[in-house]
Amino acid sequence: MRCPKCSGDNVTIQMAEVGSRTSRRGNGLAGNTYNAARGLIAVSTLGVSNLFMPKAKGHNKTKNKLEKFAICQECGHSWTVK
Ligand SMILES: [Zn+2]
């Protein structure tokens, strides 16, 4: 692996999470409110709504992507390895 900027070969590879922002979507206030409302509806309808309302888990099903980042120790240039 060589740095595309300075073509030095002192390059470190790191794994970094990407998309952690989007994975938290729905876990904030809106998500909690939705879950609370969902719980109330579930109680008032004896849980029937559980069949129709998927639980608001945000994007937990989507695993955070791990991407390879290469960092050049010579010039500090970093880029994504695909
Ligand atoms: Zn470099």
**What is the band of 21 on the pLDDT scale with cuts at 50, 70, 90?**
low
Mean pLDDT, range 8-29, rounded to an integer: 74
Residue 75 Cα to ligand 1 midpoint, Å, equals: 4
Residue 14 Cα to ligand 1 midpoint, Å, equals: 15
**What is the band of 26 on the pLDDT scale with cuts at 50, 70, 90?**
low
Residue 21 Cα to ligand 1 midpoint, Å, equals: 29
* Of residues 5 and 45, more confidently modeled: 5
Residue 49 Cα to ligand 1 midpoint, Å, equals: 57
Residue 77 Cα to ligand 1 midpoint, Å, equals: 5
CA distances from 7 to 14, 58, 80 (A): 18, 42, 16
Rounded distance, CA 12 to CA 36, Å?
46
Q: Residue 57: is it exposed, middle or buried by C-beta count within 10 angstroms (0-12/13-18/19+)?
A: exposed
How do residues 38-80 score in pLDDT, each as one tens digit?
777 666 666 555 565 566 665 555 667 788 999 999 999 999 9
